[in-house]
Structure 1
Amino acid sequence: MNLYRMLRARAAENRPVTVGLIGCGKFASMFLAQVPRTPGLHVRAIADVNVERARATLARIGWAPERIVGTTDAVRHRETVLTDSAAAVIADPRVEVIVEATGHPGAGIRHALAAIEAGKHLVMVNVEADVLAGPVLAARARQAGLVYSLAYGDQPALVCELVDTVRTAGFAVVAAGKGTKYLPAYHASTPATVWRHYGLSEQDARAGGMNPQMFNSFLDGTKSGIEMAAIANATGLAAPPDGLTFPPCGADDLPHVLRPAAEGGVLAAKGMVEVVSSLERDGRPVHRDLRWGVYVVFEGESDYVRRCFAEYGVATDPSGRYAALYRPYHLIGLELGVSVASAALRGEPTGAPEAWRGDVAATAKRDLAAGEVLDGEGGATVWGKCIPAARAAAEGTLPIGLAHGVRLTRAVGAGEVLRWSDVAFDATDEAVRLRRAMEEAHRPAQAAA
């Protein structure tokens, strides 16, 4: 609660927190829109593979052209270098915090390793990279005395905050997660069919600059799986045994639906991540849906606490035992400055993976033939299912973050989870090597357990 005061102090000293941003897409542009309004914060450099597109983005969000320069030697107060070199941004000795916002898992891992090597704090907007190898990256950062952080404003960090709040107050977490728009048929959605589910024409979507594969990842369950795996890794909550169930549920029913199945809810056990749907299974909207929000369900473990719930109007399940806190919206990149300030000024992440507990396995959307090339997250061939890391390690499941551009070596049926043995992969790729090493390190622990 003191970050704003600390930022103002840095501003008064003419010593703002300096940021290097890699990737200038939607999330990053929302962050950049708030930077001029945030005291004590200076984006020193931005790297993007398409510099002119990034320049156009900056103009669209209201940055004055004179703020943008092309060489690190020319940077003065509040000026920002725009370059196509992520390496140059990471190497800049005057940058304190790197924000990785490319959305590409392999690139995210490379940039994270380089940032840690350069002694920079890292805010990982790239949750795809975080789920692929975040536990290893976070451990390396901690060993170097650096902060590796999930991105505040995105749902995983906001859920981590809610979980930390109720645990600090002495409550046991029963479930935590977010809301989304979901129907079972969405798992088969492809970039060619996605817009009808959003009520848009292909022409309107194209005119709005909307990426069909990215939006399809939101719809087909992949992005939800990635975000829940990130939360599991950061909080110690468990991933569902065979994927998220996306129960229809509004804000008022969270304590009723998100409790153990043995007590009338949908959970396999207490202490799990789950995503609730804003649609009933017949397509009707859920009353007071949580489509844009996040939640935590927790347990009042004594008669006195449950009486306090009743006295102060806390919504509970019929037993009075389970209650919930929720936030109806998240502000995406508009809130990212919280992570940057927390890393630089408090030396604390806004959520970070502590262990490998959840994973996201590539799952066939349709019958796939041997020789087909997978098109990854949001594509036409696979979607990502959130499963326990122990299952991923034991079965050798193929992570969704590496299910792009690889060729199938055998036919796979619709709904089948893919394995490493089903594809021809490049064992020398840096992201593959890091991920495989994480899996190998996990297997003995599981065997011993």
Structure 2
Amino acid sequence: MSLYRQLLARQEERRPIRVGVIGAGKFGTMFLSQAGRLPGVHVVGVADLSVDRARSNLALAEWPAEKYAARSLDEAAASGTTCVLEDSGALIRHPLVDIVVECTGDPVVAARHLVAAFDAGKHVISATVEADAVCGAALAKRARDAGVIYSMAYGDQPAMTCELVDWARTCGFEVAAAGRGHKWRPEYRHSTPETVWGHWGLTQEQADRGRLNPKMFNSFLDGTKPAIESAAIANACGLDAPENGLAYPAGRIDELPQIMKPRSEGGQLDGPGMVEVLNSLDANGDPIDYEIRMGVWVCVKAVTDYQRHCFEEYKVISDDSGRYICNYKRWHLIGLELGLSVANVGIRGEATGTADSFRADVVAVAKRDLKAGEMLDGEGGYTVAGQLRPSRLSVGMGALPLGLTGNVKLVRDVKVDTILTYDDVQLDEDVTAVKLRREVEAMVEG
């Protein structure tokens, strides 16, 4: 029975999946624009520090005003409408909320929300993949201990990559590599919110129309978000991170099987079972046709001659050995696709991806020469970018996680392109995200 039919059945039974959304930014608004079209799903509440902004974004998403006019969560639950409120804690604790969707984008805030939701016995879908990169395996353990589900958000690239990896392994293939696409030039690692739109390919007018956050979009451009999402993929799928960070090999989709295999076999990877990002720009910085900038992919290897012969017989595009092929989704639609996570968690009791290890990490790297006394401004800002590393290396060197660099004070100078360490900053060890980080660091074997 399909998920959609089961959602229809929940609607007919007047037994909807009741959802609370925390954060009405871009991701949250994209989901909310679809939520009214999902049978058997009721958004009971939307919590945001700016109620006015949340209401404005609901209007932007074409919600009728009467649909979000409920004065309380109780009224919303009884009437089938939605309450917009500031207090995320009240939303998390409300007995008629089944699933909490966390989409603030702030890993420190998200970690606090997630633990509170687990303690309240609520399932969680987290669109704040930044928290997953910092301490995902610890969050997953907390959820298991509480008897609830902790899930990545479908529509974001990590969950969609997890789906492709699961497809490959369930079919009996060996996963050679998996990842996402990106538009990359080495100089982008120094990009700031002031330079992002020109590099991204949008006008200021388009950015303003979409109410796009330049800091958030800059985190994609400067390599931080690709590193974060690659770490989430590796930790959920049991894949390895490149020792020197993402290499961003360039190519067309139909070149993926040749590129995403070990160097020992003519590819561009350190070894088998890796996470990597395919670049949509060639060496001159020109766009590649048939690229996968906005999508995800998996490369698989035929481990028998019979499999290889089947690839050939069914005209599957392969590498020059005939053993490697790829499967992919060329586009991801972010919050517009979150309904799949809601349905999977609410009906099947399954996560659409969750960390079960700590194999890959995202370290903070200086964008410019930094001086003692400066405040770091976190993901997508002016001071640091994130780069992917194997956690066995990052933990061993005491590297500072990118996700813990928001509003943190430097205590000594750091040169441009240098990985920051814990010794470079003042960090509050009592913060929930820091405590969870210490838990995942303890999972790494020396």
What TM-score do you get using the length of structure 1 for normalisation?
0.96
* Equivalent residue letter for 2:185: L
Cα distance in 2 for partners of 1:174, 1:77 equals: 51
Cα distance in 2 for partners of 1:39, 1:408 equals: 50
Q: Once superposed, what is the RMSD of the aligned Cα atoms?
A: 1.3
Residue number in structure 2 paired with 1:344: 346
Residue number in structure 2 paired with 1:70: 71
Cα distance in 2 for partners of 1:58, 1:209 equals: 13
Question: Does the CA-based 8 Å contact 2:139-2:436 persist in structure 1?
Answer: no
Residue number in structure 2 paired with 1:135: 137
Cα distance in 1 for partners of 2:111, 2:217 equals: 23
Q: What pairs up with 1:384-395 in 2 under 5 angstroms?
A: 384-395=386-397
Identity %: 50
In the TM superposition, residue 341 of structure 1 has moved relative to its aligned partner by 1.2
Question: Does the CA-based 8 Å contact 1:176-1:296 persist in structure 2?
Answer: yes
After superposition, what is the alpha-carbon deviation per residue over 1:51-101, rounded to whole angstroms, capped at 9, x for unaligned? 011111111111111111121232234211110010010011011100001
* Equivalent residue letter for 1:123: I
Q: What pairs up with 1:21-420 in 2 under 5 angstroms?
A: 21-68=21-68, 69-75=70-76, 76-202=78-204, 205-206=207-208, 208-420=210-422
In the TM superposition, residue 203 of structure 1 has moved relative to its aligned partner by 6.2
* Equivalent residue letter for 1:280: D
In the TM superposition, residue 301 of structure 1 has moved relative to its aligned partner by 1.0
Question: Does the CA-based 8 Å contact 2:259-2:267 persist in structure 1?
Answer: yes
In the TM superposition, residue 442 of structure 1 has moved relative to its aligned partner by 2.4
Question: Does the CA-based 8 Å contact 1:233-1:355 persist in structure 2?
Answer: yes
Cα distance in 1 for partners of 2:430, 2:33 equals: 39
Cα distance in 2 for partners of 1:205, 1:43 equals: 28
Question: Does the CA-based 8 Å contact 1:374-1:407 persist in structure 2?
Answer: yes
In the TM superposition, residue 204 of structure 1 has moved relative to its aligned partner by 5.7
* Higher alpha-carbon deviation: 298-307 or 71-80: 71-80
In the TM superposition, residue 128 of structure 1 has moved relative to its aligned partner by 0.7
Cα distance in 2 for partners of 1:287, 1:266 equals: 20
- Give the SS at the match of 2:39: coil
* Higher alpha-carbon deviation: 292-301 or 55-64: 55-64
- Give the SS at the match of 2:36: helix
Cα distance in 2 for partners of 1:203, 1:10 equals: 42
Is the alpha carbon distance of 1:238 and 1:106 closer, same or farther for their aligned partners in structure 2, counting shifts above 3 Å? same
Cα distance in 1 for partners of 2:433, 2:200 equals: 33
* Equivalent residue letter for 1:442: M
Is the alpha carbon distance of 1:153 and 1:204 closer, same or farther for their aligned partners in structure 2, counting shifts above 3 Å? closer
Question: Does the CA-based 8 Å contact 2:28-2:103 persist in structure 1?
Answer: yes
Cα distance in 1 for partners of 2:58, 2:236 equals: 33
* Higher alpha-carbon deviation: 101-110 or 370-379: 370-379
Question: Does the CA-based 8 Å contact 2:26-2:212 persist in structure 1?
Answer: no
After superposition, what is the alpha-carbon deviation per residue over 1:303-341, rounded to whole angstroms, capped at 9, x for unaligned? 111110011111100010111001111111111011111
Cα distance in 1 for partners of 2:73, 2:292 equals: 44
Cα distance in 2 for partners of 1:216, 1:163 equals: 28
Cα distance in 2 for partners of 1:129, 1:386 equals: 15
Cα distance in 2 for partners of 1:4, 1:199 equals: 36
Cα distance in 1 for partners of 2:410, 2:109 equals: 23
Is the alpha carbon distance of 1:17 and 1:327 closer, same or farther for their aligned partners in structure 2, counting shifts above 3 Å? same
Cα distance in 2 for partners of 1:301, 1:438 equals: 34
Question: Does the CA-based 8 Å contact 1:45-1:89 persist in structure 2?
Answer: yes
* Higher alpha-carbon deviation: 56-65 or 215-224: 56-65
Cα distance in 2 for partners of 1:410, 1:386 equals: 23
In the TM superposition, residue 195 of structure 1 has moved relative to its aligned partner by 2.1
Question: Does the CA-based 8 Å contact 2:365-2:417 persist in structure 1?
Answer: yes
After superposition, what is the alpha-carbon deviation per residue over 1:256-275, rounded to whole angstroms, capped at 9, x for unaligned? 11111112211001001001
* Equivalent residue letter for 1:46: V
- For structure 1, the residue ranges without an aligned partner over 5 or more in a row are none
In the TM superposition, residue 217 of structure 1 has moved relative to its aligned partner by 0.5
In the TM superposition, residue 242 of structure 1 has moved relative to its aligned partner by 1.5
- For structure 2, the residue ranges without an aligned partner over 5 or more in a row are none
After superposition, what is the alpha-carbon deviation per residue over 1:148-193, rounded to whole angstroms, capped at 9, x for unaligned? 0000111000000000000011111111001111111101111122
* Equivalent residue letter for 1:152: Y
